[in-house]
A and B are shown apart, each in its own frame.
Chain A
Amino acid sequence: MVQKISIKKIKPNPNNPRYIRDGKFKKLVKSIKEFPEMLEKRPIIVDEKMIVLGGNMRLKACESAGIKEVWIDTVEGWTEKQKKEFIIKDNVGFGDWDFDLLANEWNTELLNDWGLNLPEFDKNPDYSILDDIDLGGELDEMTGNVKKALQIPFDADDYQRAFDLVKEFRENKIYVGKLLIEKLENEKSRFKTN
């Protein structure tokens, strides 16, 4: 039976598995304040002990909005299993939104205000801010001043020998790169003269 009673008589469900975030809660409070007539058409559902089965968030929001009396509908004779099933099914949305239609036919600001989550779209940032700032070669300096590596493949028979040699030179703090360049330069001038 739908009736209007003191909000103090209603008990929030301690096992309610749903929660509401701050931003959405504020929107719900605003929504209730702006359109309280809806509360009569969507009463809070309670069991015989006045524990909420449907409308925990609305109850909290009504309290926050300063509402003293709210509309309830009481279910009678339901098993615990039925009550649990109701708590979930009451909050499951099986339908999907047609966002194209909403974007074209509805005021999206109002939809957002009413608590409907609309997809956000990518915006193009203003790149001109980058043109106004000169880093004075700082980026080039970062890469121009560090060691870089080349991958040199070796035949299987030579690999371990090369590995051990490079390791030994490194351990003795000898710059292998320079030695390699010098050796290759020598080889280059030899085959050029030939």
Chain B
Amino acid sequence: MKKVDLKQIEHNVKVGDICGTIEPNVTEDSIFYFEGKPIGFYIADLSKNFKKAAQLADIADKELRSKRVPKSVMKRSSGFGDGNEDKEVLQYSTIIGSVPPKPHMRRPYATISSVHNVKTAQTFIKAMLLLCLESEKIIKEITPDLYKEQKKIISENVSKKWRFGNLFTSSISNYNIPAPFHRDAGNLVGCANVIIAKRKNSTGGHTTVPDYGATVNSADNSMLVYPAWRNVHGVTPIIPTFEDGYRNTLVFYPLKAFKGLE
């Protein structure tokens, strides 16, 4: 794997800025180092050396796109447009695993995503949990120190009942959703996220980190392990190249809202 030493650079990007189209400059298997310490890595194609993970990602992706999995839906223009609603691009997301307390929504307690109670979504949930466990094996193999550290942080801060896998609390699948620049301030400090991309007939959707001038290719079957709490980052616009084009990310993340919760 290529060793990439990340260096802090000057930029004017602020939280909330819209992320425009940027071509990726991280396209091959790489381990990211910051101040000599590995903080994440990128695998361009899981199907080459991590077939099981790639198979599980295929299943999760297929299930998510089916009617069997409930989702929060949005729509936007496809750019193919003639105002025809059928040609609008769907955007949706589905959260599974633990969801933190939301007192402002009159839910002052943590719980498990309601998707877990939907019978038809069980295949998706099983595939996602297995994919999460496979991702953890990959992290352990490629960056054992990062694995050890994240396991320690989770063990010390999050009760077993709120864990998704061993290193995370929750998962979100984002279908065709770009993101303005933001920092995952709700994540446990010192931990990394896993972002597995599935896509067809589309361009864009790359994760860009202005602090390091790095834009990571959101290739089909790619896996990015990245400490999303650390820097401001954004996701470039997703543009379909054919009418059914999409880009879906299967994300695992550790939230600090479960710290100390029974």
Partners in one complex: yes
Residues of chain A touching chain B, judged by Cβ–Cβ distance below 8 Å, are 19, 21-22, 117, 119-120, 122-127, 129-130, 133, 135, 138-139, 141-143, 145-149, 170
In this assembly, does B129 line the interface, its C-beta being within 8 Å of a C-beta of chain A?
yes
| Inter-subunit contact A147/B109 (CB<8 Å) | yes
Total contacts A to B, CB within 8 angstroms?
62
In this assembly, does B6 line the interface, its C-beta being within 8 Å of a C-beta of chain A?
no
Known: A21-B23, A125-B58, A139-B125. A146 touches B111 (CB 8 A): yes
Cα distance, A57 to B56, chains bound together (Å): 39
Interface string of B97-124 (1 = CB under 8 A from A): 1000000000111111000110000110
Cα distance, A168 to B241, chains bound together (Å): 56
Among candidates B59, B107, B116, residue contacting A125 with C-beta atoms closer than 8 Å: B59
Closest to B127 in A: A130
| Inter-subunit contact A147/B111 (CB<8 Å) | yes
| Smallest beta-carbon distance B132→chain A, Å | 11
Number of chain B interface residues as a range: 20 to 34
| Inter-subunit contact B201/A125 (CB<8 Å) | no
A contact residues around B127 at 8 Å (CB)? 130
| Smallest beta-carbon distance A194→chain B, Å | 35
| Smallest beta-carbon distance A181→chain B, Å | 17
Apart from A125-B55, A126-B58, A142-B161, list 5 A-B contacts with CB within 8 A: A21-B23, A120-B200, A129-B56, A147-B109, A149-B107
Cα distance, A21 to B123, chains bound together (Å): 37
| Inter-subunit contact A170/B56 (CB<8 Å) | no
Interface residues of B in 54-68 (CB under 8 A from A): 55-56, 58-59, 61-62
In this assembly, does B126 line the interface, its C-beta being within 8 Å of a C-beta of chain A?
yes
Closest to A142 in B: B112
Known: A119-B242, A135-B129. A129 touches B59 (CB 8 A): yes
Residues of chain B touching chain A, judged by Cβ–Cβ distance below 8 Å, are 23, 27, 52, 55-56, 58-59, 61-62, 97, 107-112, 116-117, 122-123, 125-127, 129-130, 161, 200-201, 241-242, 244
| Inter-subunit contact B117/A143 (CB<8 Å) | yes
A contact residues around B58 at 8 Å (CB)? 123, 125-126
Which one of A125, A130, A145 has the greatest number of beta carbons of chain B within 10 Å? Answer: A125
| Inter-subunit contact B55/A129 (CB<8 Å) | yes
| Smallest beta-carbon distance A126→chain B, Å | 6
B contact residues around A123 at 8 Å (CB)? 58
Cα distance, A129 to B56, chains bound together (Å): 8
A contact residues around B55 at 8 Å (CB)? 125-126, 129
| Inter-subunit contact B112/A143 (CB<8 Å) | yes
Known: A120-B200, A127-B123, A146-B110. A138 touches B23 (CB 8 A): no
Closest to A145 in B: B161
B contact residues around A117 at 8 Å (CB)? 241
Closest to B203 in A: A21
Closest to B165 in A: A138
The 7 closest A-B CB pairs, nearest first, are A125-B58, A119-B242, A143-B116, A120-B200, A125-B59, A147-B109, A146-B112
Among candidates B59, B108, B111, residue contacting A170 with C-beta atoms closer than 8 Å: B108
Known: A19-B23, A127-B59. A139 touches B107 (CB 8 A): no
Closest to A129 in B: B55
Which one of A22, A120, A148 has the greatest number of beta carbons of chain B within 10 Å? Answer: A120
| Smallest beta-carbon distance A127→chain B, Å | 6
Closest to A144 in B: B112
A contact residues around B116 at 8 Å (CB)? 139, 142-143
